[in-house]
Amino acid sequence: MLKTRVIPCLQLIGDSLVKTVKFNKFGYIGDPINTVRIFNELEVDELCFLDIRATLEKRKPNLELLKQIADECFMPLSYGGGVTSAAMAQQILSIGFEKIVLNTVTFDHPEIIREIADHSGVQSVVGSIDVKKNFWGKYKVYSNDGKRQHDFDPVTWAKKLEQNGVGEILLTSMDHDGTWSGYDTILIKQITEAVNIPVIANGGAGQINDIVKAVETGASAVALGSMVVYQAKGLGVLVNFPDRNKLEEAISR
C-alpha cells in the first residue's frame, strides 16, 4: 500500500534555517546541512526547502547550498523560493532535486509551469498556495511571502493552478503556521474536493493526531515544520521526526 508522505518542510532565509510563526516572527534553527544530515539518518520520506525571503529580497536560488543538500540526501527533494525561469528550475532539478515549488511567479508568469513540466514532467512542479483569512473570515490567497494579497479565493486559485499544469499543490495556512494547533481541515477539505491532483497540507501540525486528521480530510501528504525542528511548543531546537511505527499505525488506522 502507498504510504502517506510525511514531509519536513524547512524554511530558509539565505543559508540559515528558520521557523516562522504565522509568516511573521521567526526563530533561527541553525545550519541547513547539519539538519539534512540528521533527516537523512532518520530516513524521512521527503524534504522540502523554501527560501521564504528570496523573492522579497530579489535573490536567486543558492545553487551551491542546494548542491550540498542534494549530495547529502537520498530522498526526494523539493525547493521553492526565487525561481523565476524554467532554465533556473532546470538547473535545480539537474543538481538532484525532484520538484520545484512555485508561488509568486505563478501569478505573474503562469507559463513557467508548462515550460518546466514540458521538460521534466508535471510531477516536478508544485504549486504553492498561501492562504489567510481576512477580517470577515474569508479565505484569501497571498504571494510574496504573505505580503501581497490576491483577489482569488483558494478554491478558484487551486483549480487555476491545476489547469495551468502543476502536478501537486502545497497548501499552507498562514494563520496556522507555527502555532502547533493542527492543520486547517476546513481549508484542506475545500481544496482536495476541488482538484484531482495531490494536495500537501501545511501549517499547524503539532502532534501525530493532526496528521491523521489532515489525511482523513483528504490530504495526500502532510508537511511538518515546528514539530520537526523544536522539542515541543515553547522549547528549544531539536531536529527530530515522529516515531515511524507510531506514525504508520496512526495513519493506517
- Residue numbers at the binding site for other proteins (CB under 8 A): 1-5, 40, 43, 45-46, 70-71, 74-76, 93-98, 119-121, 123-124, 167-168, 196-198, 220-221
Find the shortest distance in angstroms from Cβ 250 to other proteins: 16
Which one, 18 or 126, has the nearer CB to other proteins?
Answer: 126
Which one, 134 or 245, has the nearer CB to other proteins?
Answer: 245
Question: What is the DSSP code string of 84-140?
Answer: -SHHHHHHHHHHT--EEEESHHHHH-THHHHHHHHHH-GGGEEEEEEEEE-TTS-EE
With helix as H, strand as E and coil as C, how does 44-65 read? CCCEEEEECCCCCCCCCCCHHH
Find the shortest distance in angstroms from Cβ 172 to other proteins: 20
Which one, 45 or 175, has the nearer CB to other proteins?
Answer: 45
Find the shortest distance in angstroms from Cβ 3 to other proteins: 5
Nearest to 215 by CA among 176, 253, 158, 246: 253
Cβ pair 127, 102 in contact under 8 A: yes
Cβ pair 14, 53 in contact under 8 A: yes
**130 classed as catalytic:** yes
Which one, 50 or 69, has the nearer CB to other proteins?
Answer: 69
Contacts made by residues 244-249, CB under 8 angstroms, sequence distance 24+: 244/43, 246/208, 247/6, 247/208, 247/211, 248/3
Which one, 168 or 177, has the nearer CB to other proteins?
Answer: 168
Pairwise CA distance, residues 5 & 115, whole Å? 27
Selecting among 45, 51, 130, 145, the annotated active-site residue is: 130
Find the shortest distance in angstroms from Cβ 210 to other proteins: 19
Find the shortest distance in angstroms from Cβ 106 to other proteins: 20
Catalytic residue list: 130
